[in-house]
Amino acid sequence: MAATIESLLEEISGVEHPTEELQLLKTALLAIPVSALRDSVSGQRFNVIFALLNSDRREQVELCVDILERILVALSPVCLVQNYRAELQAGLGHPQDTVKVLALTQIGRIVEHPDAATEVLNNREVLQAVINCIREEKIAVAKQAIQSLSKLSHSKPGLDALFQSDLLTVMKDVMATSDIVRYRIYELVVEISSASPVSLGYCANSSFISQLLGELTGDDVLVRATAIEMVTTLARSQHGRQYLAQQGIMDKIANMIRGAETDPFSSLYLPGLVKFFGNLAIMDSPQQVCESYPAFQHKVFEMALDPDPVMNGVALDTLGLLGSTVEGKQVLQKTGEQFRTVLSRMSQLASSGATELRVRSLDAISQLLLLQPEQQTEDLLALTESWFHLLSKQPMDMIRNISSQPFPELHCGALRIFTAIAAQPWGQKLMVSTPSFMEFVLDRSTGQTKEAKDAKFELVGSLVSSSTAASILGSQHYISLKAYLREGPYYVSAVASVSTEGAE
């Protein structure tokens, strides 16, 4: 095959517009298994393909990109930088976006490799061209540039190159292009900052972080909404949260939630503020966050009862997130009547309204009701059981009715609630005492999509794995459930057709 590639390369170099020959080369390369590709292309020189990128014939350029994507991934980063550094650098300034993305992707591979990265780190022109790609109109180009620079910053020499040289000025110049580009630079900075406390130090010293935090209270509400998303991402790392706390950002965001009452445009950024604290609660401590920032919990309940579906959706997601932990369940339970009102509202949203909101409500309810076996204390089992009965006078029938509606996502959402209670003794007692419910569980014809079959299989698995299921459900049901589990989610029972003609 290597000989075939070599002969095709010779043919290509002798033709002015080698579209046909390029197509043959692409086909030949696709026929080689990825595992064998390196042996087939190593030692070959593909400069002729790079040279053909300098054309205004779009089809030719696209074929060359396809071929190079296939070839270059098989070459080591050291081989790439030794043989094709100039070609990749030229690709960064190519008029076609696909060529830029190709070059940026390969540079990303090079900077991840310690031996190859030095070549790029010592080449200011390449790094400047990569930074300039962040301002490209095509988002795919900008994203790839951000990714490659983020990889570069995984080493101290990479951080020094970006933040302790004149490239810092280049980044700030690019940042001044527009609001959109400014946020791309913030995206890069947050990604770098999230990697380690050292990386965060570089970004903080460059003033990028303080500039981002300043945007939180800017006059433009859309800018504010984007800033809160960035800050939420930064808060996902422990060192990021510590830094934000030191800067007083948690208090500032809590004040923004309180101030939203009087801001007619608050609906544009309020969901982001609530998501910030929701994520914070899960990563640190639901109790600590809810007690330290009561405005957050108050606002979540208020949003759950709001007539605005956008507010409902964010509240549902946040309540599900809080309720997914034992500590979060206890925090919600402590609010007493307030949470009972919210839970009733969640039940209404699950039963009627737009499908997307119903699905989000079902998912939140399943998270609230879920208890892992090791969490099943007497108090917590009593808590989840009481919540389930607050959903409706006949909660089993209510969830079962939702599961029978002709929308796969609702069917699966309802099954997830049954799965959550299936691991708990009180849930099993309800299931076995509800007429025809066990037949419903064992009936493979109730959901025909792959997702529905998987959801039903998970429900059966939850029942079978519970230590109390056999005694509560009875041996006959338990044996049938184990058989279902053994047969797998997609089992179809064969219907035998027996001829009786001539039988004695």
Model confidence pLDDT, tens digit, residues 375-432: 999 999 999 999 999 999 999 999 999 998 888 999 999 999 999 999 999 999 999 9
Could you write out the three-class secondary structure of 141-182? HHHHHHHHHHHHCCCHHHHHHHHCCCHHHHHHHHHCCCHHHH
Confidence grade of residue 498 (pLDDT, cut at 50, 70, 90): very low
Question: What is the average pLDDT across 256-279?
Answer: 90
The Cα 369–Cα 315 span in angstroms is 17
370-374 contacts at long range (C-beta below 8 A, 24 or more positions apart): 370/324, 370/420, 370/423, 371/326, 371/420, 371/423, 371/424, 372/423, 373/423, 373/466, 373/467
Q: What is the pLDDT of residues 118-149, one digit of tens each?
A: 988 988 999 999 999 999 999 999 999 999 99
- Residue 32: the pLDDT is 84
Whether 188 has a pLDDT exceeding 90, the answer reads: yes
User: Within 13 Å of residue 77, how many CA atoms lie on the same side as its CB?
Assistant: 17
- Residue 499: the pLDDT is 46
- Residue 311: the pLDDT is 92
Token pair, residue 132, equals: 């300039």
Q: What is the pLDDT of residues 321-372, one digit of tens each?
A: 999 999 999 999 999 999 999 999 999 999 988 899 999 999 999 999 999 9
- As a whole-number percent, the residues of the chain with pLDDT over 70 amount to 96
The domain tally of the chain equals: 1
Token pair, residue 96, equals: 């076609």
Straight-line distance from the first to the last Cα atom of the chain, in angstroms, rounded to the nearest whole number: 67
- Residue 284: the pLDDT is 86
Residue 3 phi, psi (nearest 5): -65, -40
323 lies in some domain: no
**Higher local confidence (pLDDT), 48 or 344:** 344
What Cα–Cα distance (Å) separates residue 387 from each residue in 175, 303, 342, 398?
50, 20, 11, 14
- Give the chain's mean pLDDT: 90
320 lies in some domain: no
Residue found by looking up tokens 């794995």 in the block: 465
Q: What is the pLDDT of residues 72-108, one digit of tens each?
A: 988 889 989 988 999 999 999 999 999 999 999 999 9
342 lies in some domain: no
Whether 34 has a pLDDT exceeding 80, the answer reads: no
**Higher local confidence (pLDDT), 497 or 441:** 441
300, 339 in Cβ contact below 8 A? no
182 lies in some domain: yes
- Residue 405: the pLDDT is 85
Domain that holds residue 213: 178-247
4 lies in some domain: no
106 lies in some domain: no
Whether 497 has a pLDDT exceeding 70, the answer reads: no
What Cα–Cα distance (Å) separates residue 32 from each residue in 7, 70, 497?
16, 10, 47
Q: What is the pLDDT of residues 235-256, one digit of tens each?
A: 999 999 999 999 999 999 999 9
229 lies in some domain: yes
194 lies in some domain: yes
Residue 172's Cβ-count burial label (10 Å; 0-12, 13-18, 19+) is middle
